[in-house]
């Protein structure tokens, strides 16, 4: 019935789990900074591994999606936008907006100065 | 009006809602007025409410973080330490780590409740998830404080 809702909700969960893993990475980075310049130097070598670069791309994509999908859920909580047609439209909006944000952020990350971590 | 003994359970709920609930999807929600602090739903409502509060807070916090990080001229130690040495950077970073950990814990919890079966396995997984998030939050906050207070040389 609410096929779009089902799909977008599942994706919101999945991206949430990925972002939880991203939180571990964030805290690892923070702890590395706190551990001093030489420890940070080693951590940076780890953080710039190819695998992790792929993970940053995934994190940017999941962040973009989870942000818009989350706001959509918050709007639903007010009782607005729950009609079938509205929900279909907002699903399309979430997908398009998150794609645009992802592309924008990825472009920025690529062009930011000195930023291969 | 005089119907069932079950009527007592949700006496605080205005009666007309009953009928309304059948009308359309928009009535499937739990209006705050109806659910806040009422009946056996307390725990669930608290979870629901905190998940929303942390969602709202995370919108500006995560956007701020991503923009700040991408705006840094470089990610070498001196630059990052100088950035985190600014008072508001440290404040927002601590809020980000705490709010994200809380939000994540609630979210992962729901997934575990849905997909891990067997009460023993479920309880164990939930305990591990909670401990893990507490460790992540404490480590993150302590690291930020250490850097902000000039302890990361």
**Structural domains of chain B sorted by starting position, each given as residue range(s) with its CATH number in brackets:** 42-148 (1.20.1300.10)
Name chain A contacts of B153, Cβ cutoff 8 Å.
Answer: 36-37
Each residue's pLDDT expressed in tens, for chain A with a length of 117 residues: 467 778 888 999 999 999 999 999 999 999 999 999 999 999 999 999 989 999 999 999 999 999 999 999 999 888 888 888 888 888 899 999 999 999 999 999 988 754 544
Does the structure's ipTM exceed the value 0.85? yes
Name chain A contacts of B140, Cβ cutoff 8 Å.
Answer: 26-27, 30-31
Is residue A113 within 8 Å of residue B72, measured between CB atoms?
A: no
Q: Is A4 on the interface with B (CB under 8 A)?
A: no
A residues 34-73 closer than 8 Å to B (CB): 34-37, 40-41, 44, 63, 67, 70-71, 73
CB contact under 8 A, B70 and A84: no
CA gap B148, B82 in Å, rounded = 8
Tally of residues, chain B? 153
Rounded to two decimals, what is the model's pTM?
A: 0.80
CB contact under 8 A, A79 and B147: no
Taking the CA of residue B150 and the nearest CA in chain A, the distance in Å comes to: 9
CATH architecture type of domain A3-111 = Up-down Bundle (1.20)
DSSP three-state, residue B20: helix
CA gap A58, A94 in Å, rounded = 17
């Amino acid at each position: 019935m609410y096929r779009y809702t089902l799909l977008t909700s599942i994706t919101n969960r999945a991206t949430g789990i990925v972002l939880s893993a991203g939180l571990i990475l964030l805290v690892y980075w923070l702890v590395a900074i706190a551990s001093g310049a030489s420890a940070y130097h080693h951590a940076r070598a780890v953080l710039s591994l190819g695998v992790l670069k792929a993970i940053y791309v995934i994190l940017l994509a999941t962040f973009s999606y989870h942000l818009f999908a989350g706001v959509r859920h918050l709007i639903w909580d007010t009782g607005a936008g729950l009609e079938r047609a509205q929900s279909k439209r907002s699903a399309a909006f979430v997908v398009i907006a998150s794609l645009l944000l992802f592309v924008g952020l990825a472009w920025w990350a690529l062009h930011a100065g000195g930023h291969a971590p | 009006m005089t119907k069932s003994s079950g009527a007592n359970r949700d006496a605080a709920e205005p009666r007309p809602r009953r009928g309304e609930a059948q009308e359309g999807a928009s009535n499937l929600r739990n209006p705050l007025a109806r659910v806040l602090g009422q009946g056996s739903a307390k725990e669930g409502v608290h979870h629901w409410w905190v998940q929303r509060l942390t969602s709202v807070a995370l919108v500006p916090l995560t956007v701020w973080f991503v923009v700040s990080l991408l705006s840094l001229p470089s990610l070498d130690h001196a630059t990052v330490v100088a950035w985190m040495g600014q008072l508001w950077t440290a404040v927002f970073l601590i809020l980000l780590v705490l709010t994200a950990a809380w939000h994540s814990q609630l979210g992962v919890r729901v997934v575990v409740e849905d997909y891990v079966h067997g009460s023993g396995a479920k309880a164990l997984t939930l305990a591990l998830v909670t401990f893990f998030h507490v460790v992540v939050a404490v480590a993150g906050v302590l690291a930020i404080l250490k850097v902000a207070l000039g302890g990361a040389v």
